Amino acid sequence: MMNKKNRHKLYSVIVVVFFTLYVGAQQNILPLIPQPKSLVKTPGHFSLTSTTKLVVTTQSIKDELVYFNDYLKKHYGFVLEVTSKIPEKGNYIIFTYPDWEAGLKENYHLTINETFISIIAESEGAGNFYAIQSLIQLLPLEKTTTLNIPCLQIKDAPLMKWRGMHLDVCRHFFSIDFIKKYIDLLALYKMNTFHWHLTDDQGWRIEIKKYPKLTQVGAWRNGTMIGAYSNQEFDTIKYGGFYTQEQIKDVVTYAAQRHITIVPEIEMPGHAVAAISAYPFLSCDEKQIDVERGWGVFENVFCTKDTVFNFLEGVLSEVMNLFPGKYIHVGGDECPKTKWKTCNHCQSRIKTEKLKDEHELQSYFITRIEKFVNSKGRQIIGWDEILEGGLAPNAAVMSWRGTEGGINAAKQKHKVVMSPGTHCYFDHFQGDPIDEPLAFGGYTPLQKVYSFNPIPTELNESEKQYILGAQANVWTEYILNDKHVEYMANPRMAALSEVLWSPNENRNSSNFVARLQKHFLLLDKLNYNYSKALYNVEQITTSSKSHQAINLELKADSVLGKIYYTIDGSNPNIKSIPYKNAITISNNTTVKAALFKNEKQLGKISQRNYEINLATNKSITLAIPPSKSYNYGGAFTLINGVVASLPRTNNQWLGWSGKNLEAVIDLKQLEEIKTISVGFLKEEINWIYLPKEAEVFISNDGQKYISIGKMKLINERFMEISVSPTKTRYVKIITNNYGLIPEGNPGAGSPAWLFCDEIQIK
């Protein structure tokens, strides 16, 4: 047996070895994103200089060589000579295609030796381009004459076929130069699909020769909504722009050189206001309307008369001539049926086609367009609303309202692209809203994207085949300029690329974050903006074992640094409390936390106030469960000591559509109560209304309740009731949902939403 002293020695050796391996691993982390399928590091490095030769034996990869030489020229100031002869002294990059299995166009092998680099892929395949992208990510960042590249062997292949990014150029317009820069960003991450959202209520952005007014009139609006939607404020500056067909052809070629297919989206039958403003005959009542200045869903949609289909066929013919890809996106989302209900054309269409209702009329619309698109040898894809009223026979579905639409479509043997709001809406906040620019009201941080699995477990093996892949959407209501698009896309696009490319077993979020940290330097070099929200500490509350206290976890990836925090209101530094395990909070406390590395604060200070009261972390039951989409954290969210912040992100609120909050809180023993308050949200423009009334009941046995009265609205955020000190064990709060939204308001006639956050009992 080993004696104690020797054992200590051995432990020290083990510690040193592991530490060395760990530090070594840190230093050896290659900034490759997405992580290749197989990667083996080998000793040494290849030195790329202006005398390195590019050896090719086929003409078919010209674009890739131009791309690589353009990159070298721009960032290092030299280009490589292309030759068909292998230099005797070595120092070359050779492209070959031995025995490549047909159909594996995107796969590649990249071997970096000390004397040469070998790229093997299908002769005309995207794999050649992806090998170059990997090579580019391995180049040193500094501009030097000798570029040392670490030796390695990569054998790579994508997990999914559809690796997409979307951009809305209607709500805000982006120049051709920026579209190309965006496409280059997609190329960096081996994305292969760019979904170009070209038409919407706020602007028509593609020149159509047959209908020139679409861009003469429809591309311009007389002002733009500014700030939060709930403010309903507008400027009066004429805004717009469009792409000529020549520009579009140029972009399509540019994308093709990067092995990216562009999927154009022409929205129908909804989101059609810009088209109708140019040609009023397209709507049901044929009234002249203006291009929309604000965001939302609008009642003026395409009518279903024949002249509209003639128009759309004319538009789509030109679109299909410009975009050679298989898929044409026809929108299909968010189409109010209001106008159809009172339109003679639409109602007689329902009769002659023997349709049940307006949902089937939408299905008729999409199916008729599909026939036309199919007749030209192409396929349609649409948002998941195209499932309503029956799916067109060959349509592919883009699932955005969760993954249910995609699951449903796959079960019907239709192709699916997953793009659920929960993981793939890059217009949502990616950090605490307090620290972020105004965004759409969802919360989709980096790690949430990284955790995405586009293939639902609800599907069996044969149904899974229908999931082509996924894409992220960048809607630009609140994204005003190029730098802001980049900020919303980066680094979430990097995370998505790995979800779509790397095998699940290679996915590791700490390792991703370590690579990303290095990769940020490349984004800096390439002049792309990106969010650093991952350097901010997340504060997560969980139920504690003791009542009237919560557990607080402080979260950031330990690869990045160490968390220090304070509870006395001061700003944290490395002399503050180092975070180890969850903190129990049993008094009103302000927690400030930040991440530090080598004494340097990395991100922003995260600050949260915890308000502990009699209700905190007690037992709570809800008679009516919240809507699935607004139930993040469950009922605990209402008593977790955190009063939800504004603007709203959906992770701190519970929401009911047309239903009531009916909560019972068991205080576990008789407690003296004086004040009960409940937080509600008023955001009527988004269909969220304060409750009509809220009443509070108390009980000692949980059976017999007596009312202590109705709560009063104390501002437009809280309702409260105060009573003379009363002892009770159970507190029941019953609210009345506002009911149907009144005429003249957004969502008129639909059930109002009730949003609630914290219940406080003092």
**Which residues are marked as active site?**
200, 271, 334
Q: Which is nearer to Zn ion, 275 or 343 (CB)?
A: 343
Q: Which is nearer to ligand ACM, 311 or 383 (CB)?
A: 383
Which of ligand ACM, Zn ion, none does 71 bind, CB closer than 5 to 8 A by kind? Answer: none
Phi/psi for 28 (5° steps) reads -85, -5
Binder to ligand ACM among 184, 313, 318, 334 (CB under 6 A)? 334
Q: Which is nearer to ligand ACM, 333 or 662 (CB)?
A: 333
Q: Which is nearer to ligand ACM, 297 or 582 (CB)?
A: 297
**Least distance from ligand ACM to the Cβ atom of residue 704, Å:** 49
d(Cα 23, Cα 597) in Å, to the nearest integer? 15
**Least distance from Zn ion to the Cβ atom of residue 269, Å:** 9
Binder to ligand ACM among 302, 400, 426, 753 (CB under 6 A)? 400
CA atoms within 13 A on the CB side of 229: 20
Which of Zn ion, ligand ACM, none does 346 bind, CB closer than 5 to 8 A by kind? Answer: Zn ion
Q: Are 201 and 276 in contact (CB under 8 A)?
A: no
The three-class DSSP label of residue 446 is helix
d(Cα 343, Cα 303) in Å, to the nearest integer? 8
**Least distance from Zn ion to the Cβ atom of residue 748, Å:** 20
Q: Which is nearer to Zn ion, 355 or 488 (CB)?
A: 355
Q: Which is nearer to ligand ACM, 54 or 395 (CB)?
A: 395
Nearest to 447 by CA among 497, 504, 512, 401: 512
Q: Is 333 in the site for ligand ACM (CB under 6 A)?
A: yes
Nearest to 328 by CA among 408, 374, 417, 263: 263
The three-class DSSP label of residue 404 is helix
**Least distance from ligand ACM to the Cβ atom of residue 628, Å:** 18
**Least distance from ligand ACM to the Cβ atom of residue 331, Å:** 8
Q: Which is nearer to Zn ion, 348 or 542 (CB)?
A: 348
Q: Which two tokens stand for residue 575?
A: 């002399």
Q: Which is nearer to Zn ion, 347 or 506 (CB)?
A: 347
d(Cα 94, Cα 396) in Å, to the nearest integer? 40
d(Cα 572, Cα 566) in Å, to the nearest integer? 6
**Least distance from Zn ion to the Cβ atom of residue 346, Å:** 4
Phi/psi for 17 (5° steps) reads -60, -45
**Least distance from Zn ion to the Cβ atom of residue 294, Å:** 24
Helix axes 482-489, 492-501, angle to 10 degrees: 50
**Least distance from ligand ACM to the Cβ atom of residue 363, Å:** 17
**Least distance from ligand ACM to the Cβ atom of residue 400, Å:** 4
Helix axes 344-352, 358-375, angle to 10 degrees: 80
DSSP string of 547-559, one letter each residue: TT-EEEEEE--TT
Question: How many residues contact ligand ACM, by CB under 6 A?
Answer: 4
Alpha-helical segments (H) within 263-302: 273-278
d(Cα 5, Cα 25) in Å, to the nearest integer? 30
Which of ligand ACM, Zn ion, none does 467 bind, CB closer than 5 to 8 A by kind? Answer: none
Using alpha carbons, list the distances in angstroms from residue 1 to 11, 90, 325, 343: 15, 56, 71, 92
SS (H, E, C) 314-349: HHHHHHHHHCCCCEEEEECCCCCCHHHHCCHHHHHH
Under DSSP, the state recorded for 645 is P
**Least distance from ligand ACM to the Cβ atom of residue 385, Å:** 8
Which residue sits closest to ligand ACM, CB atoms considered?
333
Binder to ligand ACM among 162, 229, 327, 383 (CB under 6 A)? 383
Using alpha carbons, list the distances in angstroms from residue 621 to 135, 639, 695: 56, 11, 16
N residues, the chain: 762
* Cβ-based burial of 113 (10 A; exposed 0-12, middle 13-18, buried ≥19): middle
Q: Are 61 and 82 in contact (CB under 8 A)?
A: no
The count of other CB atoms within 10 Å of the CB of residue 357 is 12
d(Cα 745, Cα 111) in Å, to the nearest integer? 63
Which of Zn ion, ligand ACM, none does 303 bind, CB closer than 5 to 8 A by kind? Answer: Zn ion
Residue with tokens 């290749």: 36
**Least distance from ligand ACM to the Cβ atom of residue 232, Å:** 20
Under DSSP, the state recorded for 210 is T
Q: Who's near 105: CB < 8 A, 6+ residues apart? A: 122, 124, 125, 126, 127
Which of ligand ACM, Zn ion, none does 383 bind, CB closer than 5 to 8 A by kind? Answer: ligand ACM
CA atoms within 13 A on the CB side of 427: 18
**Least distance from Zn ion to the Cβ atom of residue 212, Å:** 24
The site for Zn ion (CB under 5 A) is made up of 284, 303, 343, 345-346
The three-class DSSP label of residue 191 is coil
* Contacting ligand ACM within 291-320 (CB under 6 A): none
Binding mask 468-507 for ligand ACM (x = CB under 6 A): ----------------------------------------
Which of Zn ion, ligand ACM, none does 345 bind, CB closer than 5 to 8 A by kind? Answer: Zn ion
Q: Which two tokens stand for residue 87?
A: 């230099």
Q: Which is nearer to Zn ion, 363 or 476 (CB)?
A: 363
Q: Which is nearer to Zn ion, 341 or 717 (CB)?
A: 341
**Least distance from ligand ACM to the Cβ atom of residue 596, Å:** 39
Using alpha carbons, list the distances in angstroms from residue 87 to 21, 47, 51: 38, 15, 11
Nearest to 294 by CA among 351, 243, 226, 361: 226
Q: Which is nearer to ligand ACM, 364 or 400 (CB)?
A: 400
Q: Which is nearer to ligand ACM, 295 or 653 (CB)?
A: 295
d(Cα 758, Cα 761) in Å, to the nearest integer? 10
d(Cα 647, Cα 635) in Å, to the nearest integer? 21
Q: Which is nearer to ligand ACM, 313 or 334 (CB)?
A: 334
Helix axes 176-188, 127-138, angle to 10 degrees: 90
Alpha-helical segments (H) within 29-163: 62-76, 127-138
CA dihedral 78, 84, 89, 94 (to 10 degrees): 70
Instruction: State the residues that interact with ligand ACM by CB under 6 A.
Output: 333-334, 383, 400
